[in-house]
Structure 1
Amino acid sequence: MTLRPRASPPFSIPPATGTMHILVTNDDGPPSTQSSPYIHSFVKTLQAAGHAVSVILPHQQRSWIAKAHFAAQVVKPTYFRPGRLHQDDGTTHAKPLQTQSGSDGADEDWVLVDSTPATAAQLGLFHFFQDRGPVDLVVSGPNYGRNTTSLFSLSSGTIGGAMEAAVCRKRAIALSYAFFSRNHDPDIIAAASRMSVKLIEHLMNDWDDGVDLYSVNVPLIEGIEGKKVMYTHALQNYWASGSSFTEIEADDGEDEDPEEKEMVIREQQETNQGEESSAKKRGHQHRHFTWTPNFSDVYQSVETSEPGNDGWAVKEGLVSVTPLKANFMHVPGLKGELKL
């Protein structure tokens, strides 16, 4: 990786080298082989590299929620003690189990909040972990699935958590792992975590002065540590197949578990198995709707795009690094008075 050095941005400047205090959040919740299979490996790899890691997460799956907060909600934390790596034996408690920990946070409880990734980032920065010193970097992720192209990125809770940190004047990285099959090999996950930590350290030592946050996508493939790392831009794409919702009878789907449904949607996202479906009915009828986005729109846009965007990079098995500003950029050329 050869990237030219840049001046640091004028905010929250951490040490250029050495140990960092890294705040980790996500939108997938605590470790789970079904819904959040990467975060435990990533945290342990950060700690093994010598960094102090503080972890605050939504208490359950909060994907597709962007940078939302739940207005007027009283946020209540619980405390999670990780179990064995890649095993669903962590435990959640109403009160903290440990009030003191080592300098790297390895023995410290993870904080879970009944809210969103953006809220978790806020609380982690300003209300928890204060005894451990200032946070140098916020990492949101690793997301269970890619966050490439504008269609995914605009709704991503992973990017939303990093965006919240960026508007709080903290350096932030949204980290996503793009899987291509349901075989989540622990060795491939471990390699992706090592690659991610190496890349994070590089970005922190070479932060571009115009960047508020980076969106990083790491493909979960064999040999990822030997793959190229590319600066990319987010591919602008659009839903082309009509509605992302399917009409269902009002009494259908009442007992369906939302997390199980989200898992089906996620697997369609990563394996390009989304199906266009629309129940055509005439006239006004009482009915419900279920979210069934056609992810083939995304993959078709990537297939027909020019090289250089984030979707293309992941398709080619490369690591994508997309520099972002924490705003909605205006369209140039339109200015002055509108005369009606």
Structure 2
Amino acid sequence: MHILVVNDDGPPSQLSSPFVHSLVVALQNVGHVVSVVLPHTQRSWIGKAHMVGQTIKPTYFRPGTLHQDDGTTHSRPLPAGSDQKEEWVLVDGTPASCVQIGLYHFFKDRGPIDLVVSGPNFGRNSTAVFSLSSGTLGGALEAAICRRKAIALSFAFFSMETPKKPDSAKDPEIVAAATRLSTRLIQHLYDNWGKDVDVYSVNVPLVEGVETRKIMWTNMLQNYWSDGSCFKEVEDEDGNAEEEEEKIREGESGDKVEETNVTRHTHKHFKWAPRFTDVYKSVEAAGPGNDGWAIKKHYSSVTPLKANFMHADAVTQGELKL
């Protein structure tokens, strides 16, 4: 099978993308042809976006030692006849763009791509709150609308919720077990692809004994952010001479300007600070059977999805009269 691997975490990095190299090696070891296109840097929370107006430029990554950050990036690809075989493509774009470029612009000599695997994501992609913004899901959805079978794969870890326990996300034995299970699961899903399924969203927990734990068919938990912003206000740390000159021109300093009864904005900076506790609370409140519940139980979850926005259960036929 020819598999295209993409992700939203970028090239191998023990800090931000610790799993993709393991998966590629595992898929190759069981006989698959694996082609790889990744964002050149972290692209999480970007969904199925494309950068309109941007010229995407590739670089070429030559993987090093597994679990070590010794791969190298080059501006030009290996020349024909080179001894080194392994070379991935990095692009300054999004996971969805990686799919498009991988499907249509590279790897022609390897034959048609049978399956796109997006991931493994560094962390879970379960419940609607996470999944609707996930670059991992975005890559898989892009493949699906290109008429390819696609699997979004995520490795769920628990150290953020239970900080006193060891960081299983970096335990080589636990990661290796999750990778072996994922490789078997990818093959099973491909061989038994469900009717009308476009994407499987798979979450594998990084826990001891994951290969002996249950794998559950699940639906996606519909949940929501609670009241309040997912951004926090931060100090303006990026002032510069041009901004100060603009303040002077606009009367923000210097002579006092007569004020009228008009609302004025306070200049602020913001940083993305999502409230993950909202997700965990929604899982606790929900019953069994959904993807969040399965991960909480340390089961692997498999959620079949369509690559569309399904209709809500409401009256949506006939004429709408005002």
Q: Same fold (TM over 0.5)?
A: yes
* Residue in structure 2 matching 1:56, options 29, 37, 40: 37
Could you tell me how far apart the structure 1 residues matched to 2:77 and 2:157 are? 34
Could you tell me how far apart the structure 1 residues matched to 2:22 and 2:172 are? 9
User: Is contact 2:61–2:88 with CA below 8 Å preserved after alignment?
Assistant: yes
- The 1:332/1:304 distance shift into structure 2, 3 A limit, reads closer
Cross-structure match for 1:274 = none
User: Is contact 1:98–1:109 with CA below 8 Å preserved after alignment?
Assistant: no
- The 1:148/1:155 distance shift into structure 2, 3 A limit, reads same
- 1:338 equivalent to 2:320? Answer yes
Deviations 1:30-60 (A, max 9, x none): 0000000000111000000110000000000
Q: CA deviation at 1:98?
A: 5.1
Report the identity percentage: 65
Q: CA deviation at 1:180?
A: 1.6
* TM-score where L is the length of structure 1: 0.83
* Residue in structure 2 matching 1:173, options 130, 143, 151: 151
Let me know the Cα RMSD of the aligned residues. Answer: 1.8
Structure of greater Rg: 2
User: Is contact 2:205–2:298 with CA below 8 Å preserved after alignment?
Assistant: yes
* Residue in structure 1 matching 2:108, options 89, 106, 130: 130
Q: Which amino acid aligns with 1:211?
A: V
Q: CA deviation at 1:100?
A: 5.8
- 1:212 equivalent to 2:190? Answer no
User: Is contact 2:63–2:86 with CA below 8 Å preserved after alignment?
Assistant: no
* Residue in structure 1 matching 2:122, options 144, 159, 168: 144
Q: CA deviation at 1:336?
A: 1.6
Q: CA deviation at 1:61?
A: 0.2
Deviations 1:181-230 (A, max 9, x none): 23411111111110001001000111001100100000001111111111
* Residue in structure 2 matching 1:91, options 72, 84, 94: 72
Q: CA deviation at 1:332?
A: 3.1
Question: What is the number of residues matched between the two proteins?
Answer: 291
Alignment gaps of 5+ in structure 1: 1-19, 255-281
Superposed structure 1 runs of 4+ greater than 3 Å apart? 98-102
Deviations 1:263-305 (A, max 9, x none): xxxxxxxxxxxxxxxxxxx973111111111110000000111
Q: Which amino acid aligns with 1:191?
A: A
Deviations 1:69-97 (A, max 9, x none): 00011010000001101101000000112
Could you tell me how far apart the structure 1 residues matched to 2:82 and 2:303 are? 35
Q: CA deviation at 1:99?
A: 3.8
Match runs of 1:241-280 below 5 Å: 241-251=227-237
Alignment gaps of 5+ in structure 2: 160-166, 241-262
- 1:36 equivalent to 2:17? Answer yes
Q: Which amino acid aligns with 2:15?
A: Q
* Residue in structure 2 matching 1:185, options 160, 171, 186: 171
Secondary structure, counterpart of 1:92 in structure 2: strand
Secondary structure, counterpart of 1:63 in structure 2: coil
Cross-structure match for 1:79 = 60
Q: Which amino acid aligns with 1:290?
A: K
Q: Which amino acid aligns with 1:149?
A: T
Could you tell me how far apart the structure 1 residues matched to 2:303 and 2:82 are? 35
Secondary structure, counterpart of 2:124 in structure 1: coil
- The 1:191/1:292 distance shift into structure 2, 3 A limit, reads same
Q: Which moved more, 1:285-294 or 1:26-35?
A: 285-294
